Structure 1
Amino acid sequence: MIAPSGRKAWVDKCRRAEDLGFDVVAVPDHLGMVSPFPSLVLAAEVTERVRLGTFVINAPFFNPTLLARDVVGTDLFTEGRLELGLGAGYLKAEFDKAGLPFEAPGRRVDHLERTIDELARFVADETEPNPVQDPIPLLVAGNGNRILQLAAERADIVGFAGVGFHRDGTPFVCSAEDLDERVAYVRGALGGRDVEFNTLIQSMRITDDRAAALDEIAELFGGLKTAEEIGALPTFFVGTAEQIADQLRANRERFGFTYVSVLESDFDALGQVIPLLR
């Protein structure tokens, strides 16, 4: 997942991602960043192979019909390389800045479901422009029951955020046991559907001194987690490229994750691991 910046920097990032062997270049959707859809159209112009995704669109920010129009147009202009990631939004400060109500989680998921319905209607409407892909691959990401239920029923790719929120709104990082439970919940809701499982890696550090790196991360946690606890987290990868490749294989075996995403800060680290996984 890469944040678009100026034209040259963005073009360079997209080309580098393709050269490193990434399969998808995805952009986030936050205020203070360039809008995702023009970023992906530019990315399509300067790359040849990678798929182009949103990770993820904050659906409650958008009128569903207008969002569907942008999605279809982007699929056309990327020649069918779009992968649409949708979420229900989670940062109250961004809703406040946009002058939009930050509704209860269930209401935000309701809006996400209406958005998915409207996209399907828009694509099926013969009077509207037709996308290259029908359907456009859909990723729905989150951690709560409602959104994972929706993902299990409607998405092609289920994204496990690896981060949840307590009732007071404070975030927490999911443990391996937390993810076991979330994955089992989704498997129980799939109803025989065949989907892909994605996970967002929270941190990836390549180092020959794993113990020292974990100690540094523990300091960033402010003592809330020990180095040993952080080393056991399924979305934190610390060690040599070979050790990280082994951890990714272990996560695939345990959770079924065949699709992993990283933040821009870990872009080059995963680039070193990719050849070990091919």
Structure 2
Amino acid sequence: MPQKAFRFGVVAGATEGGAKWRETARRAEELGYSTLLCPDNLNMPSPTAALAAAAAATTELRIGSFVLASPLRTARAAAWEAHSLTVVTDGRFELGLGTGRPEMREQAGELGLPYGSAQERLDAIAETVDHVRRLDGDGHTPVMIAAGGPKVRRLAGAKADIVTLAGGVLVTRKDVAGHVEEIRAAAGDRDVELAMNIWVVGDEVPPWIRGFLGTDAETLIEHDSLGIIRGSTDAMAEELERRRDELGVSYFSVNGAFLEAFAPLVERLSGK
């Protein structure tokens, strides 16, 4: 398939209040980011509310969930929220879906919902996509699925518009290439956009990211991790071009802590 042009997103939560969140959205748009992506977690404002506010504060910036965790709402409720955001933003919403991290078990319980088995959580993603397609009618909400394991990679290839490679920060390039092959095989003739989240820009890992990932910069560098990008702007641009050439990844999201540090790459590569 033809090589896709680069585009970039930033992952952030509305944890510092509405004014700061709207400022982040406007700054992301000003810097040329394609999307502002919001995590799904009961310990922060809901992505639905946060993303609606971000869209209202901007004019062209796309918004997306990164990602709605299937245990935290029923498939029909997730589709309702997604389609609603598509409608009120005039098509600027991208629905990101995932099966949820282990800590979602407790959060699902707070909501009175079952965490479900791995297969049940996977089935919920498929059902959500089907509900969204029905609700959209003649419209189309782009769906992104975060694909970590083989079953979700196959599902993502078959149903998603965008697939984020989510196998872990220490997965080798060779293994990631194999994951891409699985996704492409499941997609068949479908034109799927491949995405990747970059956790760290530079040589230092902020403490909370280190705690979340369970690893430090030295380990990431030693393992040639795809979760980190470092060096000069030229070197980082060459690395992103390598990932597109070798893996087909053209859509990169970056943690909000590096919104400004990553901006030169957005300026240089967006749309190319």
Answering whether residue 242 of structure 2 is matched by residue 241 of structure 1, we say no
Distance 2:257 2:216 in 1: 23
Distance 2:135 2:128 in 1: 10
TM (normalized to structure 2)? Answer: 0.85
Residues 17, 25 of structure 1: 8 Å contact kept: yes
**Number of residue pairs matched by the alignment:** 252
Q: 1:97 to 1:141 in 2, by over 3 A?
A: closer
Q: 1:275 to 1:185 in 2, by over 3 A?
A: same
For 2:155, the equivalent position in structure 1 comes to 150
Alignment partner for residue 107 of structure 1, among 99, 113, 120? 120
For 1:129, the equivalent position in structure 2 comes to none
Residues 108, 115 of structure 2: 8 Å contact kept: no
Distance 2:217 2:32 in 1: 36
Residues 96, 143 of structure 2: 8 Å contact kept: yes
Distance 1:97 1:73 in 2: 24
Q: CA RMSD in A?
A: 2.5
Alignment partner for residue 244 of structure 2, among 242, 247, 252? 252
For 1:76, the equivalent position in structure 2 comes to 87
* Matched-pair identity in %: 31
Shift of 1:182: 0.7
Distance 2:80 2:119 in 1: 25
Q: Which amino acid aligns with 1:190?
A: A
TM (normalized to structure 1)? Answer: 0.83
Q: 1:227 to 1:38 in 2, by over 3 A?
A: closer
Q: Which amino acid aligns with 1:275?
A: E
Alignment partner for residue 271 of structure 1, among 257, 263, 269? 263
Answering whether residue 53 of structure 2 is matched by residue 56 of structure 1, we say no
Distance 1:175 1:41 in 2: 37
Q: 1:20 to 1:225 in 2, by over 3 A?
A: closer
Larger radius of gyration: 1
For 2:6, the equivalent position in structure 1 comes to none
Shift of 1:37: 1.0
Answering whether residue 135 of structure 2 is matched by residue 135 of structure 1, we say no
Answering whether residue 1 of structure 2 is matched by residue 4 of structure 1, we say no
Structure 2 unpaired stretches of 5+: 1-10
Q: How does 1:144-223 map to 2 (within 5 A)?
A: 144-163=149-168, 173-205=170-202
Alignment partner for residue 106 of structure 2, among 91, 96, 102? 96
- More displaced 10-residue stretch of structure 1: 234-243 or 1-10: 234-243
Higher relative contact order (CA 8 A, sep 6+): 2
Distance 1:55 1:96 in 2: 19
Residues 162, 200 of structure 1: 8 Å contact kept: no
Q: 1:242 to 1:110 in 2, by over 3 A?
A: same
For 1:28, the equivalent position in structure 2 comes to 39
Structure 1 unpaired stretches of 5+: 125-132, 164-171
Shift of 1:221: 6.5
